[in-house]
Structure formats: C-alpha cells, structure tokens
Structure 1
Amino acid sequence: MSVVLNPSSFTGSDNVPGNSYAYCIDLQTPWFLSKGAMIAYYGQVRFSALTHGLQGGLLDMVARRFSAPMYLGDYVVADGFGKLILGDRGYDINSYDLDDGNLTIRQSNLLAFEPGLSLNQSIVPGFLTLIGTGRFLASSNGPVMFAEPPLRVDPEALVGWADCPSPSHHYDESWITGFVSAGARRFGVQSGEERQFDFTGAGTVLIQSSEKVIDDSSLVRTLENQIPGLSPSGLQRINQVVSQQLQQS
C-alpha cells in the first residue's frame, strides 16, 4: 500500500517523499506559480491572477518582478501559509537556486519561482530569463543533464542555459544541401539532426533526456503576435508553410 501523506510528511520545500513528479513548497512568502500547477495543499493559501484583482504589496511585487507581459495570463501568485503541492502532467520536477544569477529557461518548463527573482522575456522566442537570487522549480521530460559549452543541443531537448550567451542556430551541412537541391520542398521539417542550438563561451546548459517539448503554446503565442505586421504575401507564405507541415505530420 502507498504511503499516506499528511502535513508532517513534508520537511521544508522539497520533492514529495519518494516522488520526483511532485514538489511541496513550504509556503511562508508569496510564490509565482504556473497556472494549473497546484494539485493539492494544506493550510490557508490564496491564488491571485496577475491580470486583475491584485492590490497592495502583491501588485507592487508583480510590477517590480514580472516583466514579461506576454505571459501574465500563464502565472498566478500564491500567498498565505501551508504546504503547497505542485505537479506537471507527470513530468520530473526539480528545484534550483540562483545566487545573483542569470538563467534563461523554456517558458513551458518554468513551474514556479520566488519573488527574489525577476522574470523577463528573452529575445529567444518561447524562453524567459530569471535574474537575481532565489529558488525556482522546473519540470522536464526525464532527468536534467548539465553541460558546459561549447556544445550543440537539439532544440526540443533544451531546457535552458545559465550565465552564458544566447545560442545561435546551426544547420547541418547535409541538410542544407538537401534543402537546396530539393527546391525547398522540405521547408519546415526540422529535428535535432538537422538544426541545433550552438552554445559558446562559459556557462551551463540544461538538457532534458528526451527530444520532446513539454508544450509549445508560448512559441505559438509569439508567432501570433508577429502576424499583424505581415504583408499579404507574407501571410500567404506562412499559410503555405503551415499547410506543408500539417500534411507531413
């Protein structure tokens, strides 16, 4: 029979005992949470949307710490006191501590973070940057590996990177040759064998042990925001690419 949990089962903030897929926050101060991440809690906890209803100290905290307007609807503030249990569709959850650091992470992997960290939109679509000192929680499809540059990473396996420059795109030479010779018929078909993120310089790269993006809704939103600025010919081209990709999928 499985162990039955109660408030005394949790010591501080850590993974639920014997369970890498759930994490318990010992809530004493407010946290930013990904919407829908809460699966249970003990105590008195309030959840507030970032888009409306905030007042006083919470409103000031969001204004100072959350500089990613595109993602306001994806997070809430949890405040109060208790044991707050988080999960993310059965993916692994780990906590990480930044000490006056700078880390960029895929938005769909960022589960929660303390307000000692400031959140900014990254110049890389679909990623966010955490700056400052504090703890954050990240989910991943399998355990996370840490690697030093220089290296190239499958875009779908990339979780994030810390204290190193943003990556550039690298395209495999054989893929480029095939792309050109095929008259661009393969446009839109990309994998880690064809396209990689190229990291250079000092720092650490976080890689999940799977080539599966947890969720691409943030990238879709980024693309949607670019559509109003496209010309009719640009929209037609995008429509062609989407149609090709749907047929191949």
Structure 2
Amino acid sequence: MNATANPPQPLDPRTLPDHDNLPDNAYAYCVRLTGPLFMQTGSMIAYYAAGGGTIRFEPLTASSVAGMVASRFSSPLYSRDWVVANGQGHVILGDRGYDINSYDLDEGNLTVRAANLLAFDATLELKESIIPGFLTLIGTGKFLASSSGPVIFVEPPVRVDPEALVGWADCPAPSQHFDAGWMGHFLGAARGALFGTRSGEERQYDFTGAGTVLLQSSERMLEDPHVVRRLEGEVRQLGPNQLQHLSSVVQSQLQQHRQ
C-alpha cells in the first residue's frame, strides 16, 4: 500500500453512523441493523456484528423468512436477486461507485427504478410496477437508492428524460410524450419503416398532478437484466410474424447503438 501525506483513517465500528453515508463518502452507506432488512444481492460490502454475534443474509426462499417475504415482497421476477439481512450490528452498502441516499416514506407510495433500489425496511411492502423495470414501495419506513450523481427533486407538471428518471412519489404514473419533430418524421415515413428513439430530446416521460419526481443528474442509466426476463415471458405469446417483426426492431436498435 502506497503511503500518502494524509492517509484515510480506518473505520472504527464504535463510531460508525447509524443511518448515514460514511464520512466524506457519498458512495457507501451504513445501516444500523436492528430488524429485518431487504437488500439487493451484492450491495453489502462489509458489516460489523454487534456484541460478538452474527448477521445472517438469507435468500427469500429460506423457510425462516418465508412468511414475511410472502406478505412484504410481491415481485417474483426480482426475488432471486434479493436477500433478507437479520441480526444486530452495522451493514455497509455500496453500488458500483454510484451515489447512495436514504429516503423516508410516511404512509407513502413511491415507484423507483429497480436497478437503483438497494435496500428497504421490512415495514414497507414492495410490489412490481406495471411499467417494466420499476418497483413500487408502499407504507412507512426507510429505503436506500443509488443514482448516477446527486438526486434532483422536481414537482409536476414536468417532462423528463427516461434515462435520468430514478422514480416518483405520490403522483400518477407517467405517460410517454414524443417530440413533435420526431413524430412528424415518423408519420411521413414510408409504411413499414422502423424507427427508434435514442434520447430524451425525442421521447420523454410526462408527469402531471401532485407529487414528487426524482431525477439523477446524469443520463447514465443503470441496466436492469430483469427487464429482459420480463420481455422473454411476453415473447412466448407472439406468433411467427410478430417474432420476425420484433427481430427486425431489435436489429435496428442494435445498429443505432453501434453508431
């Protein structure tokens, strides 16, 4: 290890924050564990068990947590990638160097991008949103979410870049808005041509009504493999002509990403 003029001080378990980021570190968050905590697999980077005890990380299929999971976690699609942490002590979480923040819900209803959600109290109930790639938390408790850069809070009415969207609270789900110039190009094109939207300048999410929208200060969206799983389930319902059309759309999107 290279010596520096002011080397960072090692963590002291006696002075760890109970529910906060580590000192001068927006990329790691410390939770004082006193009860069950749902955590995304891979988000734990270290933990200190209190009083010589232990902290258990159990899959959602474990019989010891099955009853709680059945009543609090209503998203089978994501169940393989979550665990329940139990015990007494401090758990430190991280997510690929992204900013991590804690949020409080008070009898609230918040929908968040699944790839950004890291952990939530067992007092909250999780459901799968009708919008692919998003999960909804309902009730009272804390949850942790990561973001590419600091989070910005805005009030509707507002249109946002889909790649910058982290989630929304206490407001209706968004509708999609397409830029008038892009739509004019689309409607005037030859029948059967394939078009894709490539940025928030062409397609936005349109929020109306009361509530709060959470945005990250970057368009670097976290990829969610579960969206592919959900699409795979839908693909089984398609016929040969529809599958061929979908294959053409996928090839078109791949070409756009290569440009």
Specify which of 191, 194, 197 is matched with residue 205 of structure 2: 197
1:187 aligns with 195
Question: Partners in 1 of 2:228 and 2:160 — Cα distance?
Answer: 21
Contact in 1 for aligned 2:128/2:136 (Cα 8 Å): yes
Q: Give, in angstroms, the shift of residue 69 of structure 1.
A: 1.1
Runs of 4+ in structure 1 off by over 6 angstroms are: none
Identify the range of structure 1 (201-210 vs 11-20) with the bigger mean alpha-carbon deviation. 11-20
Instruction: Report SS of the residue matched to 2:163.
Output: coil
Question: Partners in 2 of 1:69 and 1:135 — Cα distance?
Answer: 22
Specify which of 215, 219, 223 is matched with residue 223 of structure 2: 215
Q: Give, in angstroms, the shift of residue 217 of structure 1.
A: 1.4
2:94 aligns with 87
Pair 1:62-2:72 in alignment: no
Specify which of 37, 44, 63 is matched with residue 43 of structure 2: 37
Specify which of 17, 22, 30 is matched with residue 23 of structure 2: 17
Question: Partners in 2 of 1:38 and 1:17 — Cα distance?
Answer: 18
Larger radius of gyration, structure 1 or 2?
2
Specify which of 206, 222, 232 is matched with residue 240 of structure 2: 232
Contact in 2 for aligned 1:161/1:203 (Cα 8 Å): yes
Question: Partners in 2 of 1:204 and 1:22 — Cα distance?
Answer: 25
In structure 2, give the amino acid aligned to 1:37: S
Pair 1:107-2:110 in alignment: no
Percent identical residues: 59
Contact in 1 for aligned 2:17/2:31 (Cα 8 Å): no
Contact in 1 for aligned 2:197/2:203 (Cα 8 Å): no
Contact in 2 for aligned 1:159/1:206 (Cα 8 Å): yes
Instruction: Report SS of the residue matched to 1:108.
Output: helix
Contact in 2 for aligned 1:30/1:79 (Cα 8 Å): yes
2:4 aligns with none
Specify which of 39, 57, 82 is matched with residue 47 of structure 1: 57
Identify the range of structure 1 (224-233 vs 157-166) with the bigger mean alpha-carbon deviation. 224-233
Contact in 1 for aligned 2:194/2:249 (Cα 8 Å): no
Identify the range of structure 1 (221-230 vs 191-200) with the bigger mean alpha-carbon deviation. 221-230
2:135 aligns with 128
Q: Give, in angstroms, the shift of residue 185 of structure 1.
A: 4.4
**C-alpha root-mean-square deviation of aligned residues, in Å?**
1.2
Question: Partners in 2 of 1:218 and 1:192 — Cα distance?
Answer: 22
After TM superposition, the score normalised by the length of structure 2 is 0.92
Question: Partners in 1 of 2:247 and 2:230 — Cα distance?
Answer: 16
Gaps in structure 1 of 5+ consecutive residues: none
Contact in 2 for aligned 1:48/1:54 (Cα 8 Å): no
CA 1:186–1:231 in 2, change beyond 3 Å: closer, same or farther? closer
Contact in 2 for aligned 1:47/1:79 (Cα 8 Å): yes
Question: Partners in 2 of 1:105 and 1:99 — Cα distance?
Answer: 16
Gaps in structure 2 of 5+ consecutive residues: 1-6
Contact in 1 for aligned 2:196/2:253 (Cα 8 Å): yes
1:26 aligns with 32
Question: Partners in 2 of 1:219 and 1:175 — Cα distance?
Answer: 26
The alignment of Structure 1 onto Structure 2 pairs a total of residues equal to 246
Q: Give, in angstroms, the shift of residue 75 of structure 1.
A: 0.8
In structure 1, give the amino acid aligned to 2:223: D
